[in-house]
Structure 1
């Protein structure tokens, strides 16, 4: 009989598992569900920070950024496809945490903001790569892998939003709002709105890329979104249907 590795300490014989133990086991079994719900919660909560003063908004954004990175790291740690995935995530995530704190302290420093946005984008996109490796590891679709389809979508959308933030710091006035005479600097939440509308292919939002480099990255995300639906989602749907038929 082979020994199995338990994620949590076993419950003593003769005693029923406590509610906390059940919650811990559920989190261990569904890390992608935790990631997805954390991302959606941040999506609904961020507008309350966006409307406040600049200093409060940047501090709140830093707090949400660190919490989001923590959730991301836990998800990567749980579903890592290779041992290299974890240490690369740590290698990217460590500087990102420091830059997120620095961005809250110096919210008007463009150099700090640029490197923070760029490393955020790399961290999120690398996490998306890890989640896709997790979903393609075998031909059996688990419940957590179904949650992973949504989590991967949000992670890619977050990554491109940060990438757009870095783009507009290098090429100023890259994005504008429809009807606005002079292109200005868009907030991160506005760029997330652009990213999600681009990924879902629902059509152009009222935020438009007007600079050539910015349009190139928007085109790249449109291609990524199309390939994600065609390859990843279609594969999981096909495997799920085949499983129920069997």
Structure 2
């Protein structure tokens, strides 16, 4: 007589599905958290508590960036070498009130996001098969580049005051949301930003962002579209 089978434990909150989804599509989670940050940041950036919450969001994004790097063939210790001090400096600046550390934190975060974007790009170009996670990685890589250049613009603004002007509050430093908006505008090539770089370092970074956006679309996005179209024709 066969022994009665053990009852399968219930998972009413769906933690198993969430965990499986995180393992299968970390790029999608990274993309979702970054887009959520774009939506909630305008509600938080004008208060100290809001900036602290935004710093916590940044740590989550950093953790997910480390996760996606771990799925690629990138050298993990480089990512950790950038992430650990950037988290420490970000916490000290946003929660501890040591705002003088913010430029260094942003410089390290910019380097980490550039590294993660490169790792995801290598992951997408590693084979001739297009998976759902690679399609999500295409969006996540774009947002990583946007964050990386926004942090670079922030560092530039700290080192060279007055690097960016705008249609409103022309003499004031640009907020994080304004710099992120500029980054998205440059990378996408839409040219809708009302923020203008006025110092040579700022203009150099701006040109690099334009170049990165054009090359990303020309090399990565066009390749994914071509491979997807080829697969559909074969099917």
Tell me if both proteins adopt one fold, taking TM over 0.5 as the criterion. yes
- 2:77 maps to 87
Q: 1:15 offset after TM fit, Å?
A: 4.1
TM-score for the superposition, normalised by structure 1:
0.86
Q: Alpha carbons of 1:207 and 1:27: their partners in 2 closer, same or farther (altered >3 Å)?
A: same
Q: Tell me whether 1:37 sits opposite 2:26 in the alignment.
A: no
Q: Distance in 1 between matches of 2:146 and 2:35?
A: 12
Q: Find 1:114's aligned residue among 99, 103, 111.
A: 103
- 2:67 maps to 74
For residues 94-119 of structure 1, what are the alpha-carbon distances to aligned partners after superposition, in whole Å with 9 as ceiling and x for unaligned? 00110111111454633x11111100
Instruction: Summarize the alignment of residues 12-23 of structure 1 with structure 2, pairs less than 5 Å apart.
Output: 15=8, 18=11, 19-23=14-18
Instruction: Summarize the alignment of residues 52-63 of structure 1 with structure 2, pairs less than 5 Å apart.
Output: 52-53=46-47, 55-63=48-56
Q: 1:162 offset after TM fit, Å?
A: 0.2
CA contact 1:58–1:107 (8 Å) conserved in 2: no
- Secondary structure of the equivalent of 1:208? strand
Q: Distance in 2 between matches of 1:31 and 1:105?
A: 28
RMSD: 2.0
* Structure 2, unpaired ranges of 5+: none
Q: How many residues align?
A: 228
- 2:212 maps to 224
Q: Tell me whether 1:208 sits opposite 2:196 in the alignment.
A: yes
* Structure 1, unpaired ranges of 5+: 1-11
Q: Alpha carbons of 1:173 and 1:236: their partners in 2 closer, same or farther (altered >3 Å)?
A: same
Q: 1:23 offset after TM fit, Å?
A: 2.4
- Secondary structure of the equivalent of 2:165? strand
TM-score for the superposition, normalised by structure 2:
0.90
